[in-house]
Structure 1
Amino acid sequence: MDDDTPEPGELRLPLALYRDNATGEMVIPAAEVSGLLRTSARQWLTWEREDQAELDPQTVALLGGALADLADQIDVACIAAAS
């Protein structure tokens, strides 16, 4: 395997990072974070269906649901802040 190929059970996703010009801090857009959470949840469920998860199906479902809920909360908070 080459260095860019993820190992089984390894999740690699592109993530946009930006530097805030005013503070110099690194920031991640909220849409990127909520997308990352949803993609992670989907990937866990795929691993579970393909019998690659080391967790039981109920645990995978609960963790995936928690990530999706957190993504929803981020989206709602951003919509409220933009309104």
Structure 2
Amino acid sequence: MIQVSIPLFPAEDGGLLIPADHVTALLRRLAEDWVDATETGEMPADERTVSDLADVLTELADQIDVECIGCASAQEERGGGGGRAARAGGGPARRRGVSGRVV
């Protein structure tokens, strides 16, 4: 079982923000751990199902990265700086210092 610590930042509207690079790392780590636990027999589950679920988590992390790169590019074109973190429970997240909302 993995243990992770994810920093939370208060938003001006009272919500909490999570850095997207932490979210994407968590998604990828969970996917890897599920596959490893299934392969070693630590988690008795159908390997194909676990692999498919791990792929979904990895694809979600990839989508967040792509959205963040898009946000970073748009901000650079406008000459703006990056934001702080990704909103818990929202859409795209942070990458390379850019913020958005996390799914």
Please show how residues 22-61 of structure 1 align to structure 2 within 5 Å.
22-61=12-51
**Offset at residue 11 of structure 1 (A):** 3.4
Give structure 2 stretches of 5+ with no counterpart: 74-103
Q: Match for residue 12 of structure 1?
A: 3
Work out the CA distance in 2 between the residues paired with 1:77 and 1:18: 21
SS of 1:24 mapped into structure 2? coil
For residues 34-76 of structure 1, the C-alpha deviation after alignment (integer angstroms, 9 at most, x for no partner) is 1110010011011012101132100110011110000000000
TM-score by length of 1: 0.80
1:82 matches 2:75: no
Work out the CA distance in 1 between the residues paired with 2:35 and 2:8: 27
> Which amino acid in 2 is paired with 1:52?
E
Q: Runs in 1 of length 4+ with deviation above 6 angstroms?
A: none
Q: State percent identity of aligned pairs.
A: 37
Give the count of matched residue pairs.
Answer: 73
Equivalent position to 2:59, from 60, 69, 72: 69
